[in-house]
Structure 1
């Protein structure tokens, strides 16, 4: 069984860099630019891990995390961000994020 990762980030360069890095490690990757796109793709792709940006246009990462956990309470989500306060990782963990980078 191949490993599958869903990358969700509104910055194209970040999506492409993470995709390239993961594919180099023989991981199947799907990348999308928004929370709504991720929620549409998740049920079909069934990733083992979701790398989810916190700060995105429209639906932010925390709202996307809430909705992903409703779709699949066992979803493994790692939040990623270069922004935010100490409260953001705390809230993400309380919502069920596996980790925060």
Structure 2
């Protein structure tokens, strides 16, 4: 009497190749890495950024979810995000004073 082993009830799905998708910010970060650079970002450019020299490409794509009160007392979401940026920059640069 020959007894064959029972076949599995379920067959697993063959693995699919996973595509690695990167955000535009991450791609710019990777492209900006240079061996002779002391910093990851361009501090001079970021410190000089303001509403006049930094155009807003598409306001509908701005991270408005970062703002709990939306535009708040700033008049517009763009102004509110600039104020948030300025606050965070001052806070980050102020860490040096406390250390």
Instruction: Please report the TM-score for the alignment, with normalisation by the length of structure 2.
Output: 0.28
TM-score for the superposition, normalised by structure 1: 0.28
Which of the pair has more CA radius of gyration? 2
More relative contact order, 1 or 2 (CA 8 Å, 6+ apart): 1
- Which protein is richer in strand relative to its size? 1
